Amino acid sequence: MTIHKEGRALLLGLLIVLTGIVALVWYFLTQIWFLISAAVALVLFCLVLQFFRNPRIKINYGTKNVLAPADGKVVVVEETEENEHFKDRRIQVSIFMSPLNVHVNRSPLEGEVSKFAYHPGKYLVAWHPKSSTENERTTMVLKTTNNTELLVRQIAGAVARRIKWYVKEGDQLGQGAEYGFIKFGSRLDVFLPLDAKVIVKPGDKTKAGRTVIAELS
């Protein structure tokens, strides 16, 4: 288990601020207030710390496996119209990340990043039906060696307003490779071909890079 790079500066700053507050309480107030402030500071620091944990995992490799891009809960499995890139019918699988989940985003497949785009937008709650098209988001299209394309979308929510990504068009991504991060949770959508066999259902829990959410034909 390591601390993700996106959280290191924030955690250091938070530690300095909390230590300063606790020191001031120790200097100006009574011991009981010092103990209370120290306990509150410790709990707050641990809560933020767990947002940025980055566990070492064993990738569930498979050429036909579509892996979960995020830890979380499946909230949508449905056929829908994808109008940004494919402009046709696709199977959408959406995964909601709560603040308690690991926030690292991983590539569902091995392939080339044939498209990547960032879209500024609103900050509707992540489970809102319009969040997929109106919220701040990124779109990544992966093309496999047999020219199958899959679209993955990072979506910011009401709390998570900081989407990070580490790829660009033309990059080659390994299956399960880290490609992004959303601070404090949110949602990822995956758009699959209609002939894909979906393995998960709404309510299922996923682990990024380990849970198979679908199999390609």
**How far, in Å, CA of 145 to CA of 175, rounded?**
13
**How far, in Å, CA of 101 to CA of 179, rounded?**
17
Q: Nearest Cα to 115, choosing from 211, 191, 197?
A: 191
37, 94, 107, 186: the active-site residue? 186
Give the residue carrying structure tokens 């100006």.
28
Q: Does the annotation count 217 as an active-site position?
A: no
* Helical spans, DSSP H, in the chain: 5-28, 31-51, 131-134
DSSP code at position 98: P
Catalytic residues: 186
